[in-house]
Structure 1
Amino acid sequence: MPEQDLIAELRWRGLIHQVTDEPALAKQLASGPQTVYIGFDPTATSLHVGSMMQLMMLRRFQQFGHRPIALVGGATGMIGDPSGKSEERNLLTAEQLQENIAGVREQISRFLSFDGDNAAILLNNFDWMKDFSYLDFLRDVGKNFPVGAMMGKESVRARLGSEAGLSYTEFSYMLLQAYDFVHLCKEYDCQIQAGGSDQWGNVTAGIDLTRRMLGRQVFGITAPLLTTSDGRKMGKTESGAVWLDRDRTSPYAFYQYWINVNDEDVMRCIAYLTEIPRDEYDSLAESTQSDPGRRVAQKRLAEWMTQFVHGDEGLNAALSASKILFGGEIERMDDQALVEIFADVPSQELSRDLLSGEGFWIVEAFQQAGLAKSGGEARRAIKDGGAYVNNQRVSDMDQRLTESDLASESVMVLRKGKRNYALLRFTGR
């Protein structure tokens, strides 16, 4: 892809929120391959959906011929970025930080190409910050950083005016992050820093410090934050963040998050987070306008995102799990996956001994599950063809359930009618 088209690509996708000297940046990009970096804060062992904005930004730069640097903040992560935070973070231990860095590194490596002429580079700012003594840093770096400029940053002023205030440790964060740009410019000829709009103060601080220390012009570009139409951050659910690690957010839960995105937000998510081309984007937008009930855009978004993050295997698992909710066949699964699919379904815990011997009478099972108030109601459901075990219709009201009827290690799925589900969990022994 020609370098000069990158700005146009970012522009139509709505990914340019702020940029320093856009004409000069466009000229720089058109002059040949450039190096761009984005920092990732290792506050957990996994990145989350909000991090996708930055991962995709680096990926887009790379696709247009530029070299991306993914910078993991091993040093800055020990302090915590005050930007957008109402109070100071708890400091991580060295062990927690190293575990987090390892997880974040592994995930980043799945989004960027580390081969070819513009192979991505993965760095940790602890590698150059660890050699500084406090006095050396103050003398060599701090003297180039005006306190007035720091005080003028919105992130600093907001915290100074809050009840929590701002500690000297957090106040120093901006200086540490700004020095990253100086180091990367000097050692890797990196002239562009990108990030989220909440990082604008840190980005411009790095630009100013690089000019003062190296006498070079460098550039900054930020993307909007990933928010809903009413201003709330996306990637949050009642159970917490939507993670990129399948052990923290399963492919099924990940898929469900995207397929349930509102009509007002879906096209922005497609533009921001996917590589779906402009013509298909326009077609999906038209379908959303003319027939929103079909949720064509949501399905495309959910499938693209799940396949991209979790691969074909993850997407197939998510699609199979989704079909189960609509009466699809339940093949042998594990407890965790099955309980997650039916997270909002009532469940009862019973003794596993009920499944031994003659087994557990189907009529009583429906009563215990709360799907029938009486034996008569359960019998009528079976007679009318509206009773199911693991989405298989039950026709014999004398049927006895045994361990062979479990859908997973300990769970059985009962259904009455089209959508009235309940789980029975058999424990003990």
Structure 2
Amino acid sequence: MTDIFDELQWRGLVAQSTDEAALREALAEGPLTLYCGFDPTAPSLHFGNLVQLVVLRRFQRAGHHVICLVGGSTGLIGDPRPTSERVLKTKEQTASNVARIKALVQPFLDFDGANAAILVDNLDWTASLTALDFLRDVGKHFRVNQMVKKEAISARLESQEGISYTEFSYQLLQALDFRHLYRTYGCTLQTGGSDQWGNLTAGVDLIHRSEGASVHCFTTPLLVDSGGTKFGKSEGNAVWLSADMTSPYSFYQYFLNIEDASVVSMLKVFTDLGQDEIAELERQVKEEPFRRAAQKALAGDITTLVHGADATAAVQAASEALFGKGELHGLDASTLTDATAELPGARIEVGTSFVDALVAAGLVDSRNAARRAIADGGASLNNVKVSDPDRILGDDDFLHGTVAVLKRGRKSLAAARKAD
């Protein structure tokens, strides 16, 4: 496929478009400039934001000019949620988040060379704008009866909480961003998630009314599983792109455990695999699901994209080692800590018997059950089978001086964390 819009559609990355025929024509006429904005409402971007970074990445690779906007001003306001008002971040919190997100997006786009991506902060053009100037220059182009029809606004108006004027005005700020980038860089396309449709079209309308020009926007669909639940949640916690908020190991495991019904669509969105390669993985999902080849390809590619090849190799080695197919002693301390963080277990003192450690970690119900597991050859310490029921845990058994991995059977794992 040579047409970027055709590829985006095949990959399931187009939900809505203002005028598809006009956008296709603009794309065919030569490189255009597009942008996507990311608000610093948290110290990291999350899995949902990765979709937009991948879209920008694909456009840049196709020769188009991309702008990545971090919302230093819009982050101070907060995009209206359908349910309730956001708690406003302080200026200091927002500035800290902006700095982290600016660093985070760097690896996804090429900021060097002839077609370098541009990174901007909308606080740069709004900080000095007075309320009177904003109302006269931007507000006069909007009609309240149209603004209240936006999905996010109407949902809040119908709720008990209502909506503040602050959040009601958010769409005007985002529209101002589009117009500023249109005037400054000739930007004629904005992308975002489908829940941002109202904010995106506000920018299109502002440019049309104030500049007399036609510009474009399109949205990507929200990614949901077969039950309709939004992806990117793991037991109530967002899957973050920053390693200090979601470890590379946990990130890899999340995608390794994606359901069969969704893995092919995720491969299309997040990997560079072509139609033939994905078709083969789709065949394996149907005919050999137990091999989980598609999940392994997805987890490997997306972890490399976000955390780099070295981190991916480390977490793959850890994943293999935990289940007895690799060497635990070869894992670095950080990866070992991440890999064992979510395992059940207990604090164990040096000198504790292996039998008592199995009981304390919850792998068996009693000392007798522990002895039976050892006698049956079904208990191991750091992937080494234990045959002596009187085995004692020594200092050297705690890898990197912190944790020993206990196992009963093939899949029951626990972490014996060294007591201080």
* Contact 1:53-1:226 at 8 Å conserved across structures: no
Quick one: which amino acid aligns to residue 394 of structure 1? V
Tell me the alpha carbon deviations over residues 230-271 of structure 1, each in whole angstroms, 9 at most, x when there is no partner: 221110011501011111111111111101111111111111
1:361 to 329, 349, 353: 353
Q: Given that residues 13 and 220 in structure 2 are in contact (C-alpha distance below 8 angstroms), is that contact kept between their aligned partners in structure 1?
A: yes
Is 1:190 the equivalent of 2:187?
Answer: yes
Mark the CA change 1:396 to 1:229 in structure 2 (over 3 Å): closer, same or farther. closer
**Does 2:397 align with 1:424?**
no
Once residues 294 and 219 of structure 1 are traced to their aligned partners in structure 2, the CA distance between those partners, rounded to angstroms, is: 43
Matches within 5 A, 1:309-324: 309-324=306-321
Residues 204 and 335 of structure 1, relative CA distance in 2, 3 Å threshold:
same
1:141 matches 2:138: yes
Question: Contact conserved, 2:79 with 2:170, CA < 8 A, in 1?
Answer: yes
Between the aligned partners of 1:170 and 1:60, the Cα distance in structure 2 is: 32
> Which residue is 1:85 aligned to?
82
Indicate yes or no: 2:389 matched with 1:391: no
Give the Å deviation of 1:274: 1.8
Question: 2:148 corresponds to which residue?
Answer: 151
Quote the Cα distance in structure 2 between the aligned partners of 1:367 and 1:230. 38
Q: Which whole-Å CA distance do the structure 2 matches of 1:372 and 1:170 have between them?
A: 54
TM-score by length of 2: 0.94
Contact kept in structure 2, 1:335 and 1:411, CA below 8 Å:
no
Q: Is contact 1:335-1:409 (8 Å) kept?
A: no
1:112 aligned partner: 109
Deviations 1:320-348 (A, max 9, x none): 22113312321166777545434554322
The AA in structure 1 aligned to 2:5 is I
CA contact (8 A) 1:251 1:310 kept: yes
What percent of counterpart residues are identical? Answer: 50
Task: Give the 3 Å change call, closer, same or farther, for CA 331–85 of structure 1 in structure 2.
Answer: farther
Alignment partners' CA distance in 1, 2:298 and 2:305: 10
Deviations 1:368-387 (CA, angstroms, capped at 9, x unpaired): 44445555544443344333
Whether 1:27 aligns to 2:25 is yes
Cα deviation digits, residues 393-412 of structure 1 (max 9, x gap): 22334433211111233322
TM-score by length of 1: 0.92
* Residue from 8, 11, 14 that aligns with 1:13: 11
2:236 and 2:375 mapped to 1: Cα distance? Answer: 39
Q: In structure 1, what is the Cα distance between the partners aligned to 2:199 and 2:414?
A: 51
1:200-231 Cα offsets, whole Å, 9 max, x none, are 11111101100111111111111111222222
In the TM superposition, 1:12-411 aligns within 5 A as 12-82=10-80, 84-238=81-235, 240-327=237-324, 328-331=326-329, 337-338=335-336, 340-343=338-341, 345-350=343-348, 352=349, 355=350, 359-373=351-365, 375-411=367-403
Task: List alignment gaps of at least 5 residues for structure 1.
Answer: none
Q: Secondary structure of the equivalent of 1:210? A: helix
Q: 1:382 to 1:290 in 2, by over 3 A?
A: closer
Give the match's secondary structure for 2:67. Answer: strand
Question: Cα distance 1:177–1:387, how it changes in 2: closer, same or farther (>3 A)?
Answer: same
Residues 68-102 of structure 1 show CA distances to partners (whole Å, capped at 9, x for unaligned) of 101111111110011x4311100010110011101
After superposition, the Cα gap between the structure-2 partners of 1:334 and 1:119, relative to the gap in structure 1 and judged at 3 Å, is: closer
C-alpha distance in structure 1 between counterparts of 2:167 and 2:376, whole Å: 67
Structure 2 unaligned segments of length 5 or more: list them: none
